[in-house]
């Protein structure tokens, strides 16, 4: 091999050329770009999933809470919230609620918080053949933006006008929870799950199962019949701490003991709004009022386990503003009933208490087991 051939061989074996370096740099840049794009898409996708999950939760909670409201009160509550620059805007048969701004507390409608970034539309429709106004279709659409694109979640449910029961059902909205000495922020219902119960009270609706008392832990039970005033079985609740709740769950005899405690602030009875006919007797002439309407529920003294249809009458001889001299109004609100301490049932020092009055009517004395 001559000298020239050796020089050519060495040149051929030389390291990476400038072209090779440039090509490698381009490959690295392209790879980083691809990774960045994939990461960005994953982040955007995750945000989209989170936003959709939040929208689904809002729509589900709204429908569940609307179902717990009296049929005739759904639109009334929305109308009230649309007045005086309220959070609701009424357009046709749609109610629009914009989520609160970052600097404000979350907007709440039907006890459902609507945070910033979400807009809720509640559409209320009536079927074509609905002359008696027995059904409404409620559609909740929750709108939100993901990556500058508007998306939405829509859920619907048909609600049915409730049949007339013997009295107004027990209420657990905030103004009624206050009668139990708690608020929605300081308590949970016994059918709700909560990770942290520290410092919170547990509201326990109680039913008698034919053998003993038990705490109701299924939300569906609340919608059914768990009391019968005609049979002197009133709706009752206990307000318990977490330790007391566990004690009662493990030993049902403790429930009976706590229900009958006169000196505690734990045992309550539901007193539906009632009135007595003018000139009539407390025992025999006591009528339950139908919601907040000037209507009396008739023939409610009988089998309380059956629903009654259309047993309403404009009973003009009853002064609904008071129950035998005791007012059902609080803070300028007309209540459909009131939670009263069990201890006010029988003591003669409580003759001006609502629970005492009802206990002296044909719906008392309260039956206990």
- Per-residue pLDDT for 309 more than 50? no
- Mean per-residue pLDDT for 25-43? 71
Q: What is the pLDDT of residue 68?
A: 78
Higher pLDDT, 305 or 201: 201
Distance CA 202, CA 358 (A): 26
Q: What is the pLDDT of residue 50?
A: 79
- Mean per-residue pLDDT for 13-37? 70
Q: What is the pLDDT of residue 296?
A: 81
Long-range own/partner contacts, residues 359-364 (CB < 8 A, 24 or more apart): 360/282, 360/283, 361/274, 361/276, 361/282, 361/283, 361/284, 361/286, 362/283, 362/284, 362/286, 362/301, 363/229, 363/230, 363/232, 363/234, 363/286, 363/301, 364/232
Q: Averaging pLDDT over each range in 31-35, 287-291, 325-329, which range is the top one?
A: 287-291
Hey, how many other C-beta atoms are within 10 angstroms of the C-beta on 51? 19
Q: What is the pLDDT of residue 263?
A: 74
Q: What is the pLDDT of residue 341?
A: 92
How much is the mean pLDDT over the chain? 80
- Per-residue pLDDT for 238 more than 80? yes
Chain center to CA of 63: 9
- Per-residue pLDDT for 269 more than 90? yes
Q: What is the pLDDT of residue 335?
A: 85
Higher pLDDT, 97 or 302: 97
CA angle 173–177–180, rounded 5-degree value: 160
At 167-224, the pLDDT tens digits run 888 999 888 999 999 998 889 999 887 666 777 899 999 999 888 999 999 888 887 7
Instruction: Report the sign of the C-alpha dihedral through residues 19, 22, 28, 30, in that order.
Output: negative
Residue 219, helix vs strand vs coil: helix
- Structural element, H or E, at residue 110: none
Distance CA 154, CA 120 (A): 10
- Per-residue pLDDT for 41 more than 90? no
Q: What is the pLDDT of residue 323?
A: 72
Nearest in space to 340 (alpha carbons), one of 209, 191, 236: 236
- Mean per-residue pLDDT for 351-364? 87
Burial of 114: CB neighbours in 10 Å, binned 0-12, 13-18, 19+? buried
SS (H, E, C) 298-330: CCCCCCCCCCECCCEECCCCECCCEECCEECEE
- Mean per-residue pLDDT for 22-38? 74
Q: Averaging pLDDT over each range in 98-102, 227-231, 294-298, which range is the top one?
A: 227-231
- Per-residue pLDDT for 44 more than 70? no
C-alpha pair distances (Å), 367 with each of 66, 235, 238, 262, 263:
33, 11, 17, 16, 20
- Mean per-residue pLDDT for 19-30? 74
Enumerate the H helices of 68-111 as residue ranges. Answer: 73-81
Q: What is the pLDDT of residue 167?
A: 87
Which has the minimum average pLDDT: 6-15, 137-146, 234-243, 339-348? 6-15
- Mean per-residue pLDDT for 163-168? 79
Categorize the per-residue pLDDT at 240 as very low, low, confident or very high, splitting at 50, 70 and 90.
Answer: very high
- Which residues contact residue 83 at a Cβ distance below 8 angstroms, ignoring those fewer than 6 apart? none
- Per-residue pLDDT for 59 more than 80? yes
- Mean per-residue pLDDT for 16-39? 72
Categorize the per-residue pLDDT at 83 as very low, low, confident or very high, splitting at 50, 70 and 90.
Answer: confident
Q: What is the pLDDT of residue 223?
A: 76
Q: What is the pLDDT of residue 32?
A: 78
């Amino acid at each position: 091999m001559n000298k020239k051939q050796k020089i050519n061989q060495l040149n051929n074996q030389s390291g990476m050329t400038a072209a090779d370096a440039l090509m490698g740099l381009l490959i690295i840049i392209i790879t980083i770009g691809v990774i960045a794009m994939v990461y960005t898409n994953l982040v955007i996708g995750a945000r989209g999933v989170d936003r959709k999950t939040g929208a689904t939760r809002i729509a589900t909670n709204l429908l569940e809470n609307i179902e717990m409201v009296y049929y005739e009160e759904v639109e009334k509550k929305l109308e009230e919230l649309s007045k005086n620059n309220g959070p609701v805007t009424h357009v046709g048969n749609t109610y629009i609620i914009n989520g609160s701004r970052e600097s404000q507390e979350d907007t709440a409608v039907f006890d459902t918080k609507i945070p910033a970034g979400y807009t809720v539309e509640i559409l209320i429709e009536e079927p074509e053949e609905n002359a008696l106004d027995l059904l409404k279709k409620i559609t909740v659409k929750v709108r939100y933006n993901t990556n500058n694109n508007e998306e939405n979640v829509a859920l619907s449910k048909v609600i049915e006008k409730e049949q007339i029961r013997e009295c107004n059902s027990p209420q657990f909205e905030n103004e009624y929870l206050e009668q139990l000495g708690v608020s929605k922020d300081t308590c949970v219902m016994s059918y709700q799950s909560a990770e942290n119960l520290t410092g919170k009270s547990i509201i326990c609706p109680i039913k008698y199962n034919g053998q003993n008392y038990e705490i109701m832990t299924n939300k569906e039970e609340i919608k059914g019949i768990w009391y019968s005033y005609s049979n002197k079985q009133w709706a009752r609740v206990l307000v318990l701490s977490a330790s007391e709740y566990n004690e009662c769950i493990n030993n049902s005899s403790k429930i009976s003991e706590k229900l009958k405690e006169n000196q505690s602030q734990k045992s309550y009875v539901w007193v539906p709004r009632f009135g007595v006919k003018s000139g009539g007797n407390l025992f025999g002439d006591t009528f339950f009022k139908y919601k907040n309407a000037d209507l009396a529920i008739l023939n409610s003294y009988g089998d309380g386990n059956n629903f009654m249809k259309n047993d309403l009458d404009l009973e003009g001889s009853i002064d609904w503003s008071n129950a035998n001299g005791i007012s059902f109004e609080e803070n300028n609100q007309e209540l459909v009933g009131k939670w009263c301490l069990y201890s006010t049932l029988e003591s003669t020092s409580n003759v001006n208490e609502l629970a005492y009055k009802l206990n002296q009517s044909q719906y008392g004395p309260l039956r206990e087991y």
